[in-house]
Amino acid sequence: MATKPKSEAKSHPADARGKIVDALMELAAERRFEDISVRDICKTAGVSLADFRDAFPSKGAVLAGFSRRIDRAVLAEQGDELADESPRERLFDILMRRLEAMAPYREGVREAAAWLRREPASALAMNQVVINSMRFMLEAAGIEAHGAAGAIKLQGLALAWARMVHVWLDDDEPALSKTMAELDRILTRGERAAAGVDRISALASPFAALAGAALSAGRRARAGSGRSPRREERGDDETGAS
């Protein structure tokens, strides 16, 4: 019976991604993030460099993969047991579940957080990853986060999450009382800030609608007169390509 060529004996891409995430978090628990090479990750994960390239474009992207793993762990546990709770209580529970899912990787998370403080550009990229995660956490809690007001809420929650992780990393109490107290403070401040954002958004929305109507009317008038819209007024096409 003919044997398969070695080139066909590949690990499944989904398996490779999981192994790579595990390997990075294991290595991050042992050494500085800057000292971990892609080859180190491949060796620890038992995958080839080609497998890594198929799975992730960089070490930083592996961290984003870790974040998505935590998202999935939290969202997969969503049930109806919190249906009768307030949105605040649901969000409290969801964020604590997120920390619980991160607990097995705590030392790796500690070094990853320290690396992000040393690398502002990477921290900026990771901020968007956290915002995406927080969008799903709010969705799971039944909290709206749409439009400009929603973007402000998401960024505020992303920054608050970073502060909470910092407290969690130094909380040695089994009951995580310091972490829960910090989360309670964060949500209290967040409720007040969100209420202010919603009020401002409600006040500004009629003016935004008027401005949009005026802009549309201007475009129709120019189209009717045969004038071509200026390039800056075709921004949707340009931003869609980025």
Cα–Cα distance for residue pair 83/148, rounded to 1 Å = 27
What are the pLDDT digits (tens) for 105-146?
Answer: 999 999 999 999 999 999 999 999 999 999 999 999 988 888
Percent of the chain residues topping a pLDDT of 90: 57
Cα–Cα distance for residue pair 185/68, rounded to 1 Å = 26
84 pLDDT above the threshold of 90: no
Q: How confident is the model at residue 14 (pLDDT cuts 50, 70, 90)?
A: low
pLDDT value of residue 193: 63
* Arch. (CATH architecture) of 13-203: Orthogonal Bundle (1.10)
Task: Decide if 59 contacts 84 (C-beta within 8 A).
Answer: no
Arithmetic mean of pLDDT, 81-104:
88
Task: Decide if 143 contacts 187 (C-beta within 8 A).
Answer: no
Sorted by where each begins, the domain ranges of the chain are 13-203
Q: How confident is the model at residue 7 (pLDDT cuts 50, 70, 90)?
A: very low
Mean of pLDDT over the chain? 80
176 pLDDT above the threshold of 50: yes
Q: How confident is the model at residue 225 (pLDDT cuts 50, 70, 90)?
A: low
DSSP letters, 160-229, are HHHHHHHHHHT---TT-HHHHHHHHHHHHHHHHHHHHHHHHHHHHHHHHHHHHHHHHHHHHHHHHTTPPP
pTM of the complete model beyond 0.85 = no
Cα–Cα distance for residue pair 37/55, rounded to 1 Å = 16
Cα–Cα distance for residue pair 25/157, rounded to 1 Å = 24
